[in-house]
Structure 1
Amino acid sequence: MDVHGLAGLTAIITGGSRGIGLATADAFAAAGSNVVLTSRRLDSALNAADSINARAEPGRGVVVGMEAHATTPGAAELCVQRTLEEFGSVDILVNNAGTNPAYGPLIEQDHLRFAKTFDVNVWAAVNWTSVVVRAWMGEHGGSVVNTASIGGLSVEPDVGVYNATKAALIHLTRQQAFELAPGVRVNAVAPGVVRTRLAELLWSDHEERLRSEIPLGRIGEPEDIAGLVTFLASRAASWITGQTVVIDGGALLGDASADRAPRASTAEHRG
């Protein structure tokens, strides 16, 4: 049974050939949606689509891989046009493409790395949403989900430029939701550390320590985020827009490895 109302819809997922994007494409297909996943390389996109289509369970949607760099001029227009030709609609857009070439302190960054990070992580989401709205959603409605990060809500070493892009994306999510309502809903997810190649520097050499610090005792898996994305795109979230939903295992609550022994109450001290 299609409990979320996703069967027969069409989703475009940028940066969909691996990690969170690939898991999200699989989740939408499992729910009966047709999916177009994009990658900078055509072979990566096709291989990712084939890996999902190979499951071929009853009721699954069809996944198509397309080459489309998130910031290449005209790439969004071409991808949306081909999607409409293939499936007849673009009901869901997941702006998932992201990059982080600007690793290190802010004072060590050059303009090229700074600009590339903002182009991919912020401008691409604005542009792809604009193209999809003009081509389909503006008349027919739809749902957009942006992949942000808890880094956009906090401060930490070495990823200042990346986190600034995610803070901008969180605000732009609210702005897009305001401008595009009521026909188009726009929300964002803000993952913590997830087991992906993009986030590898944040977990690969010290996963055990991270697990001890996260209240729910593990780093995230791409499938964790995919479940939230499909919910936000579904009819179950039909009265949610302009929101950024944190999904971090409780990481923003504080270090779970710290001493959490209960303190004596003021009354006990006085007694």
Structure 2
Amino acid sequence: MAEQQDTGRVALVTGASRGIGYGVAEALVARGDRVCVTGRNEDALKEAVQSLGTDRAMYVAGKAHDPEHQEEAVGRVMEAYGRLDHLVNNAGTNPVFGPIADADPGVVRKVFETNVLSALGFAQRAWAAWQQEHGGTVVNVASIAGVSASPFIGPYGMSKAAMINLTLQLAHEFAPAVRVNALAPAVVKTKFAVALYEGREEEAAARYPMGRLGAPEDVAGAAAFLTSDEAAWITGQTLVLDGGLFLNAGVE
């Protein structure tokens, strides 16, 4: 087996014990980055780090919207690796399903805290700890729910729209040192999204010109590109990853 390349670069991926976040971490480790993964479940994070390789990965457990957790995670990365080149804001929640007219404001607030304020908090801390002086990238994992109406998951869609605008604000303010972009996936086969396809995957996939739902590696590949030198002239963009779903807009 060929010796693994070492890029010398370090990434922090939030919400990465499984699903899209883990897929992103796996792709970055595979290309030679060192990675810190975060999430709420310490046991799941331990398993993730074992799979990624303890020589290439570490974890910090906590709630993404907690400022103390954000501070700890960035601080631990700097202590362990001495730098923080890439931040991937993947942590998210969607605890409510139903008409937005009936949405509990407290629940909506929780969605925004986890999906938007956590991304801002991590970006601020990564900027202060390393990126302002040394450069780097930020990738925010949004959703197509943020660029279209999203029936029955309105608060989630609202938060992802805010995340896309946060991407624009950060890209403008952090340039030229840091590039900031977003990804907007359609339905990806993860535990997080299982309610959107469980028991009817074939029917759900039929809506996609590519003939299937997304997989974590589809998002991971895009995140790896946007954090690479090949994307050095790309900032402030939202890349839609939808298997062609929007091609069907307005088509009966």
Match of 1:44 in 2: 44
Change (3 A) 1:16 1:34: same
Within 5 A, what are the aligned runs for 1:203-218?
Answer: 203-218=197-212
Q: Offset at 1:6? A: 7.5
State the 4+ residue runs in structure 1 displaced beyond 4 angstroms.
Answer: none
Decide which of 226, 235, 239 is 1:241's aligned counterpart. Answer: 235
Q: Name the residue aligned to 1:35.
A: 35
| Larger displacement relative to structure 2 (200-209 or 146-155) | 200-209
Instruction: Work out which of the residue numbers 177, 182, 192 in structure 2 matches 1:188.
Output: 182
The aligned residue for residue 20 of structure 1 is 20
The one-letter code of the counterpart of 2:234 is I
Q: Name which of 160, 166, 183 aligns with 1:166.
A: 160
Offset of 1:73 from its aligned partner?
A: 2.5
1:6, 1:31 → 2: CA distance? 8
| 8 Å Cα contact 1:6-1:28 kept in structure 2 | no
CA offset digits 1:60-113 (Å, max 9, x no partner): x70112212101131111111111111110000000000001211111211221
Task: Identify which of 126, 141, 149 aligns with 2:143.
Answer: 149
RMSD (Å) for aligned C-alpha atoms:
1.6
Please state how far the C-alpha of 1:168 moved relative to its aligned partner. Answer: 0.7
> Could you give the per-residue CA deviations for residues 200-224 of structure 1, whole angstroms, max 9, x where no partner exists?
1111122111221101000000010
Structure 2 partner of 1:124: 118
The residue aligned with 1:88 is 82
Q: CA offsets per residue over residues 94-138 of structure 1, 9 Å max, x none?
A: 000000012111112112211110000110001100011011101
Where does residue 58 of structure 2 map in the other structure? 64
2:131 aligned with 1:137: yes
C-alpha distance in 1, partners of 2:199/2:147?
A: 24
The DSSP-based 3-state class of the residue aligned with 1:190 is strand
* In structure 2, distance between residues paired with 1:235 and 1:133: 19
Which shifted more, 123-132 or 44-53?
44-53
Conservation of the 8 A alpha-carbon contact between 1:143 and 1:186: yes
Length-normalised TM-score, structure 1: 0.88
Assess if the C-alpha contact under 8 Å between 1:6 and 1:234 holds in 2.
no
TM-superposition CA deviations, 1:133-169 (whole Å, max 9, x none): 0111011111000000011111132011100101111
3-state SS, counterpart of residue 184 of structure 2: strand
Give the stretch that moved more between structures: 149-158 or 178-187: 149-158
Q: Aligned equivalents of 1:212 and 1:220: distance in 2?
A: 12
Unaligned runs of 5+ in 2: none
Report the alpha carbon displacement of residue 47 of structure 1 after superposing the two structures with TM: 1.1
Q: TM-score, normalised by structure 2?
A: 0.95
* Cα separation, 1, equivalents of 2:180 and 2:43: 30
